[in-house]
Structure 1
Amino acid sequence: MSKRTPSKFLKQQTRAFDPDEIFLDSKNLPGFDKDQFEGRIEKPISHTAIWGVFFSFILITFIFLIKVTSLQVVHGEEFLRKSENNRLDHVPLFAMRGIISDRNNVPLAWNSFDDEAARIALIMTETSTTTEEMPFPHRSYILSPGFGHTLGYVSYPKRDKRGYYYQEAFIGKDGLEEYYNEILSGENGLQIVETDALGKTKEGSIVENPTNGVALTLGIDARVQEKLHTTIRDTANDFGYMAGAGAIMDVETGELLAMTSYPEYESSVLSEGKNKKLIQSYNLDKRSVFLDRAVTGVYTPGSIIKPFMAVAALAEGVITPEKQILSTGSISIQNPYYPDIWSVFNDWKAHGWVDMRRAIAVSSDVYFYEIGGGFESQKGIGIANIEKYARLFGFGALTGIDITDEKIGTIPGVWATRTTLSSGSMVFKRQYSRRFAVLQVSQTEARSSLRIF
């Protein structure tokens, strides 16, 4: 019994043969030109592959258009600015820092250059500023001693290894350089430098011309200041003192003729910053080289307070100018809590009978002990009035002197007598403070006095 072959199978078996399939065998293969695809059976590309390639191109085109829109439309201006900055460099044109001179036009701080060619280059420029051939000028200072704290020093403009400035100005760091930094600095200008694709540069137009700083003329006399400083220095060295400060004022005009502090630093050394060893010695010096004792140091005023207390005593009517007080060289005060304890306060010498004029002239301590705090039959003005008149004369307040870091100090008042003290000696000091008070003030008023510490 025979099986019937499915018609679908018969159709597959009886399909037509292509001529290539009939006549193609291994003997005639070498005769075909393979570069022309002879002897090869071609299979048509499927519709799926064609549509896949089509949609891939559509997707790539869509992504490209989105990116182009983002670059040109959304961020176009931002990238334009960046490209301009990459091609055009903004180079600062440094303003000349103002010169500082004394009352006689002696230069105390000025601008200097590395060589004569640099100086000439500066003079030849219409903008009166620096060029690439001439770096910004250095700051030079008077070589005479006594001007370190007064003048201060500066920090130079700074740039990185690629030549870009991250600090485009001179910055005053202390003294007058810091206090008057804004007017001394002036205002930098701006120049555009173009860089081509090969990295070559050429100067462009000047966008902004610099405005040079203002010159300062001080009331200080350089000769007087130098002499004052050397006197303080020599006195400190001869008598074993660590430091000192002094000031001299014209009493007619109020101008400072000199104000100096010892020890001091060299302004040029700190400005240049190259002498690391010397700068390190400044930091390690126990005498506090960076402390300007004339305006920042806080000390007891000493005998300069006596004339002010004399005015206070006259105003309060506790004494007349003619009344005399006996100075035997000291006064002794009994401790009210410990009667067996007596504290002796010495005068610097026995002056005998002195009235107010004489007491001021010879600087009698005993006289002012008595009119300040009272002693036996002599009435004193008391601690409250001592504070009152000290403040009336400007003690305990800033003077407004044009030097940085001025300190005002402290004037003890009645509050100082309310401190609880335990030991007998301290109790006595509290009692004594009721009678006279030791004024702890820092006074920067220019005065023709010399203080050694």
Structure 2
Amino acid sequence: MQDEDIFGKNNLGHQKYKLNKTVDNNWIESSYGKYSWIRNTPEDESTEFLGASLTNFKLKFVGFLIIFISVILFGKVFYLQIVKGKEYIAMAETNRIRQVPILAERGVIYDRNQKALVGNAPNFYLALVPNDLPKDGVARAEAIKKIADIANLLPQEIEEQLSAFKSYNYQSIPIKNDISYEQAVYFEILNNTYPAIQVKTGLQREYSIPESMSHIIGYLRKITKDDLENDKSYLPVDDIGKSGVEAQYESVLRGEYGKQQIEVDAIGKEVNVLAKKDPIRGSDIIISIDSDFQNKVQTILQKHLRAHGLSRGSVIISDVSNGEIISMVSSPAYDNNLFSGKLSVDDYKKLIENPNKPLFNRSISGEYPSGSTIKPVFAVAALEENIITEKTNFRSSGGIKVGEWFFPDWKIGGHGLTNVRKAIAESVNTFFYIIGGGLLDNTLQNFTFEGLGVAKLADYAKKFGLSAKLGIDLPSESEGFLPSKEWKERVKKESWYIGDTYHLAIGQGDLLVTPLQVNFFTLAFANGGTLYQPHILKTIMEQDGSAIVNEPIVLNKNFISQKNINIIRQGLRDSVLYGSSRALSDLSVEVAGKTGTAEWRTNKTPHAWFTGFAPYDNPKIAITVLIEEGGEGSQTAVPIAKEILWWYFNM
């Protein structure tokens, strides 16, 4: 039978052909080839079909999968575009537009005569922007090796610095300060290969001062990670005051950042400056120190120290009318310029391991037994408490015996009948044993004379500023220490005995004071009974031309009667006229003062003290000298005070 042409032009039977609906319900394609259209007859339902079978379950699964993936993709797009959009835009802008700080020039420090002590000198320093270093590990290591070779550093030193500031990926991280001009040129050339390299011009602190000023002025150091965490206003490239006035007045001296907005290309190179705000220079300050006088005090102190084979001491001179520090020398000292970008690890190690501790400011941080310098404080306490009068006498026969213990005078055989003025002038221990601890009868159970006792001794010492920081405007001031019954029982697990009170009354035992505290209770006797807060700052000079004057602060006043102050002043003058300070009696200016010899270890030489004021009738200054292991105050400390006083009032 000849095949029929089902698409024939004249074939009228094509109406009987249709797509087999029964079969197509389960197939994608009915057939493949010539006979796609068939007669709808039962026998043809067995025709073979080509294609893939899809059940209802499979269709639903595929649909669910498509919807699930779409939701995930939509969620991710939403998270990136909406939730994190601003952050990623900011990151993109950071890659293209960066805000670069412009450091402010630090303020200048002047002495009381407006002589510049500290200025700023231009220098180069090397910095790196971590984000602009090669991302490939090998290429990064190669870049750091090249940088280290030029900077005379080890690669690990650079890595350690970058690691310390790893959260500042887009900031300039300082690598080496005060690089040479030649190094700067090499780094600028290398910047064409490694845009992370930045050669910056900065201002290095320049100290034109003698070493005697080092503890007062202090120094700057590159900021540390801890500093940055404590104060978010700083950046890794900052220098920060670490000691002295530089640290105390950091916020005044540092000024305010400027900033400029720059555009960078894909590899981090600057292509355009978009905006700029100039920095505001730090304020200048005038301090109370007379630098010429300070230099002379240092020269005198060092001359006498060398003559005695010693190296450690302190001298403080203050203005009795307001608490200004005119001179404050702590020996030994150090060169501030060592810290101005050039201090090596070895040099720093030498400083901190030096047994004489040149970085230690003995004048405000050193704590020593006061020796007899404390006696005027306890004498006026006895007068105030009416335990004695100006005419009260006790016999000094060489010491006091309490049971098996003997508490001696310094003078063999004693000083004879002694009133309060003589007790101060000749530093009579027996007198102070009695007014401090009292006298016991032979049974050692009852007092024949009742003294102040440890509580009142401590109370008056505190009124004069002991056992607390006076509040000088320098870091690291110490408090000193006043022992008490409770302290001894708690710490030493021992009872308090009358002998402990005797020791306290003459400035021995566990009592500790700073040279600054001794100078300022001397100042209070000099000016008639006002205890000022010591201060170094005199004036802040603002950039707009205005001045902020540092007004005196009174810590205590009117706590001692003028009558009793005058009695003590007379005793201090007697000390110069015929007592332990008589070497000062031939000066052209009338001086009042008190020596001290402070025992601190049984196998060590005592510390030597002198504290006093001048002129006697119209006091201008108070002076305190401490010489560590100097022996007798009259032999070591007084000659130093004498030469300083002569220079101050005659030159």
> Under a length normalisation based on structure 2, what TM-score does the superposition of the two structures give?
0.51
Task: Give unpaired runs (5+ residues) of structure 2.
Answer: 1-32, 35-49, 54-61, 125-180, 182-197, 226-233, 441-447, 520-621, 629-651
Deviation by residue 1:47-72 (Cα, 9 ceiling, x = unmatched): 79xxxxx99xx99x968877665544
| 1-structure distance, mates of 2:75, 2:504 | 87
198 and 176 in structure 1: CA distance in 2 versus 1, 3 angstrom threshold: closer
Match of 2:110 in 1: 101
Amino acid paired to 2:92: S
Is this contact kept in 2: 1:195–1:201, CA < 8 A? yes
Closer/same/farther in 2, CA of residues 431 and 293 from structure 1, 3 Å limit: closer
Aligned partner (choices 137, 141, 150) of residue 203 of structure 2: 137
Name the counterpart of 2:399.
331
Q: Which runs of 5+ in 1 are unaligned?
A: 1-16, 19-44, 49-53, 119-131, 160-164
3-state SS of paired residue (2:201): coil
Amino acid at match of 1:140: E
Matches within 5 A, 1:309-348: 309-327=378-396, 330-335=398-403, 339=404, 341-347=405-411
Q: Pick which of 378-387 and 302-311 moved more.
A: 378-387
Deviation at 1:332, TM superposition (A): 3.7
Match in the other structure for 1:385? 456
Q: After alignment, is 181-190 or 408-417 more displaced?
A: 408-417
Q: Judge conservation of contact 1:92–1:168 (CA < 8 Å) in 2.
A: no
- C-alpha contact 1:331 1:345 (8 A) present in aligned 2: yes
Aligned-residue offset at 1:221: 0.8
- Say yes or no: does 1:368 pair with 2:368: no
The residue aligned with 1:51 is none
Aligned mates of 1:366, 1:389 — CA distance in 2: 20
Please give the per-residue CA displacement for 1:179-238, whole angstroms capped at 9, x wherever unaligned.
Answer: 111111122122112112365414514454322211111111112222223333333333
Distance across 2 between alignment mates of 1:133 and 1:221:
39
Does structure 2 retain, via aligned residues, the 8 Å contact 1:109–1:142?
A: yes
1:235-279 residue CA offsets vs partner (Å, 9 max, x unmatched): 333323341122111112321101121122322212324333321
Letter in 2 for 1:308: V
The one-letter code of the counterpart of 1:346 is W
Note if contact 1:346-1:366 (Cα within 8 Å) is conserved in structure 2. no
From the superposition, tell whether residues 91 and 421 of structure 1 become closer, same or farther in structure 2 (CA, over 3 Å): closer
Seen in structure 2, the aligned counterparts of structure 1 residues 428 and 388 have a Cα distance that, compared at 3 Å, is closer
More divergent stretch after superposition (365-374 vs 136-145)? 365-374
On the 8 A contact 1:417/1:434 being kept in 2, the answer is no
Question: Does the CA contact (< 8 Å) of 2:378 and 2:505 recur in 1?
Answer: no
Aligned-CA RMSD value: 4.0
Q: Which amino acid aligns with 2:201?
A: P
Cα deviation per residue 1:301-343 (whole Å; 9 max; x = unaligned)? 2232122122112112232223445556x314233xxx3x534
Aligned-residue offset at 1:281: 0.7
Matched letter for residue 302 of structure 1: G
Q: Is residue 256 of structure 2 the alignment partner of residue 181 of structure 1?
A: no
Partners of 1:66 and 1:254 in 2: CA distance: 70
Q: Structure 2: which amino acid aligns with 1:135?
A: T
Is contact 2:328–2:363 with CA below 8 Å preserved after alignment?
yes
**Alignment correspondent of 2:482:** 411
Distance in structure 2 (CA, Å) of the matches to 1:370 and 1:136:
65
Larger Rg: 1
Query: Per-residue deviation at 1:384?
Result: 2.2
- 2:471 paired with 1:400: yes
- Following the alignment from structure 1 to structure 2, what is the Cα–Cα distance between the partners of residues 179 and 87? 39
Q: Per the alignment, in what secondary structure is the counterpart of residue 81 of structure 1?
A: helix
Instruction: Kindly indicate which of the two structures has a greater share of residues assigned to strand.
Output: 2
Q: Report the residue type matching 2:85 in the other structure.
A: G
Instruction: Show CA shifts across 1:24-69 (max 9, x none).
Output: xxxxxxxxxxxxxxxxxxxxx9679xxxxx99xx99x968877665
Conserved in 2, the CA contact under 8 Å of 1:146 and 1:230?
A: no
Displacement of 1:363 after TM fit? 3.6
Which residue of structure 2 lines up, in the alignment, with residue 83 of structure 1?
A: 92
Q: Distance in 2 between matches of 1:386 and 1:442?
A: 14
User: Cα–Cα, structure 1 residues 212 and 325, in superposed 2: closer, same or farther, change >3 Å?
Assistant: same
Select the residue among 181, 194, 197 that pairs with 2:266: 197
Which residue matches 2:310? 241
Of 315, 337, 342, 1:268 maps to: 337
Contact 1:398/1:406, CA 8 A, preserved across alignment: yes
Contact map agreement 1:382 1:436 (CA 8 A) in 2? no
1:222 is matched with which residue? 291
Q: 1:452: which partner in 2? A: 627
Aligned residues of 2:297 and 2:329 also touching (Cα < 8 A): yes
Q: Distance in 1 between matches of 2:368 and 2:394?
A: 29
Cα shift at 1:107: 1.5
Quick check: 1:417–1:431 contact (8 Å CA) kept in 2? no
